[in-house]
Amino acid sequence: MNSPHKPYVHGRSDREAERLNYQASKLAGLLHHDTRYPPGSRVLEAACGVGAQTILLAKNSPLAEFISIDISPDSLVKAKLRVSHEGITNVTFRQADVYHLPFRPETFDHIFVCFLLEHLPDPIRSLKNMKEILRPGGTITVIEGDQLQREMGGNALIGRELWHLMTDAGFTKVAVSPRIVYADESRPEYVEGVKNIFIAMVEGVRERAIARGLLDNETWEKGIRDLHRTTEQDGTFCYTFFKAVGNKES
Ligand SMILES: C[S@@+](CC[C@H](N)C(=O)[O-])C[C@H]1O[C@@H](n2cnc3c(N)ncnc32)[C@H](O)[C@@H]1O
């Protein structure tokens, strides 16, 4: 079982909080443009972290009511501050574990999950738990990337497995759309994003990766140099996020 004290691959430093906020704002169009919830609907945001996606969700659907949960009390404190700083009033925060959700069956009209399943040892169990508290006819939206955390108990290729995970968890009409970030010299704002989102993310797990013996220092340094090369004049960078929407049958 996950606990607030379980190490989380990216850590919970202020720098990582900043990276998550930057990532959410830069990728807002790519990941959020097609997510809107109707007035009056009750939406669970599972694993809101420091509130980076919460702000976008709440602003895009100002008349929906969001309950945003996370297992980490520290992240929730940051998320609350951020949301109140933005003057957002349609979000309530609560500490909760997706493996033990403290809600009655069929409480929510919709559920939104971003960058959570990739960290969980048992993503299908968490999806089934979320299905319990979703009303029939409601939707679940899940956004994940492919990442590096198999060693920490997560799934490094989870993005491309979303369709199967969600279908196996019992959701119907699951539709997955790949969202591609592509950068070369002609798109300088994307090149900046590659540095501040993707390279910063990998650099942020350096100590942990080396301490766990995933690779040696020299291999690590070469990998980081190669990543930086993708942002140079003769480089290109390509990364795919996956966004899935599924339904709970009425
Ligand atoms: C990469 S962050 C994503 C945060 C946010 N969704 C975003 O996109 O910025 C993953 C979050 O999952 C939370 N988390 C990990 N295991 C959890 C669990 N079992 N229940 C609830 N939250 C969990 C972590 O505390 C962390 O805040």
> What is the distance between the alpha carbons of residues 109 and 57, in angstroms, rounded to a whole number?
15
- Could you write out the DSSP letters of every residue in 127-156? HHHHHHTEEEEEEEEEEEE--SGGGGTS-T
116-154 confidence digits (pLDDT tens): 998 899 999 999 999 999 999 999 999 998 765 545 555
pLDDT of residue 23: 86
Report how far apart, in Å, the C-alpha atoms of 195 and of each of 23, 61, 209 are: 11, 30, 19
Count the alpha carbons within 13 Å of 144 in the hemisphere toward its beta carbon: 29
CB 74 within 8 A of CB 88: no
Question: How large is the greatest C-alpha to C-alpha distance in the chain, in angstroms?
Answer: 55
Ligand 1, atom 13, lies closest to the CA of 47
Q: Which pLDDT does position 2 carry in this prediction?
A: 38
Ligand 1 neighbourhood includes 116 CB (under 6 angstroms): yes
Going through the chain in order, the beta strands assigned E by DSSP cover 42-46, 65-70, 91-95, 108-114, 134-145, 172-183, 237-247
Distant-in-sequence, close-in-space partners of 133: CB < 8 Å, separation ≥ 6: 44, 101, 103, 104, 105, 106, 107, 108, 111
Band of residue 247 on the pLDDT scale cut at 50, 70, 90: very high
pLDDT band at 3 (very low <50, low <70, confident <90, very high): very low
Long-range residue pairs from 212-216, CB within 8 A, at least 24 positions apart, any chain: 212/151, 214/151
- Return the percentage of the chain with pLDDT > 90, whole number: 75
Rounded average pLDDT over 204-210: 85
Q: Is 17 in the pocket of ligand 1 (CB under 6 A)?
A: no
- Give 210's pLDDT tier (boundaries 50, 70, 90): confident
Report the nearest atom of ligand 1 relative to the CA of 113.
Answer: 6
Give the model confidence (pLDDT) of 22-49 as tens digits: 888 889 999 999 999 999 999 999 999 9
Identify the weakest region by mean pLDDT among 53-62, 145-154, 177-186, 233-242: 145-154
What spacing in Å lies between the alpha carbon of 49 and ligand 1's midpoint?
Answer: 5
Verify whether ligand 1 is closer than 6 Å to residue 176 (CB atom): no
Residue 49 Cα: closest atom of ligand 1: 27
Mutate to test the pocket of ligand 1, among 71, 91, 126, 158 (most ligand atoms within 8 A of CB): 71
Residues in the chain: 250
Per the prediction, the chain carries an average pLDDT of 90
Alpha-carbon separation of residue 179 from 27, 52, 145, 213 (angstroms)? 10, 18, 9, 32
Q: Quick one: pLDDT band at residue 8, thresholds 50, 70, 90?
A: low
The whole-number pLDDT of residue 224 equals 93
Question: 92 by DSSP, 3-state: which?
Answer: strand
Q: How confident is the model over 145-165, as pLDDT tens digits?
A: 876 554 555 566 889 999 999
Q: Is 24 in the pocket of ligand 1 (CB under 6 A)?
A: yes
Each residue's pLDDT tens digit, 222-237: 999 999 999 999 999 9
Look at residues 35, 38, 44 and name the one whose alpha carbon lies nearest to residue 66. 44
Cβ atoms of residues 121 and 154 within 8 Å: yes
The Å distance, Cα 75 to ligand 1 centre, comes to 9
